Amino acid sequence: MIHQRWKHMNNFDQDLINNIRDLLIEKGQTVGVAESVTSGHLQVAFSMAEQASSYFQGGITAYNIGQKSRHLQIDPIHGQQVDCVSERIAQQMADQVCYLFAADWGLGITGYATKVPEQGIHSLFAYYAISRNGQPVAHGKITAGEDADPMEVRYYFTNQLLSQFVNVIVSP
């Protein structure tokens, strides 16, 4: 079950986005994103802040192993074994997007916003990773339960990753 704060809240946490913007601009740093499960929501979220071009380098949404391997340099053998959903894949996405977009920070996220019963996927979850200059700094798993609307899940995953990112930026 999605945390009550985000339940039925199909929007982005604008205060959080503005906080990230302020921190990155103050530090003279930029961010790029590589996403699949969030379907471009991270890119939309970052672009919603004023002065987005001052801190947001861009992003890529890649759904399948072919595109993730070609553009984000994920390990295709591991990707095939895990349906491109693992902490390792998220980390490879985050690391590569730093280089792809010449960004100080890279965010990667991959997971499931809908059930895939034929693959034994009954709970909705995502792995995320945060890189700084192409080096891992944080990673984790976000869970959303079993019976949530896919769009609601995407917003939830997006806001959760943004929350994790701001924590990383402000930590020493």
Per-residue pLDDT of the chain (172 residues; tens, 9 = 90+): 445 544 444 589 999 999 999 999 999 999 999 999 999 999 999 999 999 999 999 999 999 999 999 999 999 999 999 999 999 999 999 999 999 999 999 999 999 999 988 988 889 999 999 999 999 999 999 999 777 889 999 999 999 999 999 999 998 6
- Which structure tokens are listed for 85? 């959903």
In angstroms, how far is the first alpha carbon of the chain from the final one? Answer: 33
Among candidate residues 18, 92, 83, 11, the one with its CA nearest the CA of residue 55: 18
Among candidate residues 162, 128, 165, the one with its CA nearest the CA of residue 143: 128
What's the pTM value of the predicted model, to 2 decimals? 0.92
State the DSSP H helix or E strand holding residue 127, giving kind and residue range, or none if neither.
Answer: strand 124-132
- Which structure tokens are listed for 58? 């861009």
38 with 13: CB under 8 angstroms?
A: no
Domain 14-170 in this protein, CATH class: alpha beta
Model pLDDT, residue 132: 97
Rounded to the nearest 5 degrees, what angle is found at the Cα of 39, between the Cα atoms of 122 and 52?
140
Model pLDDT, residue 147: 73
Rounded to the nearest 5 degrees, what angle is found at the Cα of 117, between the Cα atoms of 75 and 44?
60
